[in-house]
């Protein structure tokens, strides 16, 4: 979803979602526990924000077993990377 500024995305713009995208933009994927620590939020807050990004098609969530425990990872989709890049460019245009 966008506003009047080309590339500005209200889905990404929410503070926690913007932080999630920024963290995921530099890596292939991140385990939820690491992402939760980086953001300093509860598991429920992280899940809610990742779900919003997932529903927009910006984040992919995968589960797997590591060290005999079920783990969850998040990664930006191709569309998510494009939307994040465009959103950052829109923010720079607004403040520049």
What band does 65 get if pLDDT is binned at 50, 70 and 90? confident
Q: Is residue 74 part of a domain?
A: yes
Instruction: Read off the pTM.
Output: 0.89
Residue 81: domain span:
10-95
3 pLDDT higher than 70: no
The domain tally of the chain equals 1
The pLDDT, as a whole number, for residue 1 is 46
Q: What percent of the chain has pLDDT over 90?
A: 82
- Residue 59 scores a pLDDT above 50: yes
pLDDT (mean) for 36-60: 97
Q: What whole-number distance in Å separates Cα of residue 41 and Cα of residue 61?
A: 18
Look at residue 1 and tell me if it is in a domain: no
Alpha-helical (H) ranges within the chain are: 10-13, 15-24, 32-39, 43-55, 78-95
């Amino acid at each position: 979803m966008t506003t009047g500024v080309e590339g500005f995305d209200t889905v990404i713009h929410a503070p926690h979602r913007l932080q999630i995208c920024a963290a995921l933009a530099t890596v292939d994927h991140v385990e939820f526990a690491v992402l939760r620590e980086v953001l300093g939020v509860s598991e429920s807050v992280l899940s809610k924000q990742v779900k919003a990004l997932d529903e927009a098609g910006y984040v992919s969530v995968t589960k797997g077993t590591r060290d005999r425990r079920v783990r969850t990872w998040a990664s930006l989709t191709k569309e998510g990377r494009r939307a994040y890049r465009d959103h950052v460019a829109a923010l720079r245009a607004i403040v520049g």
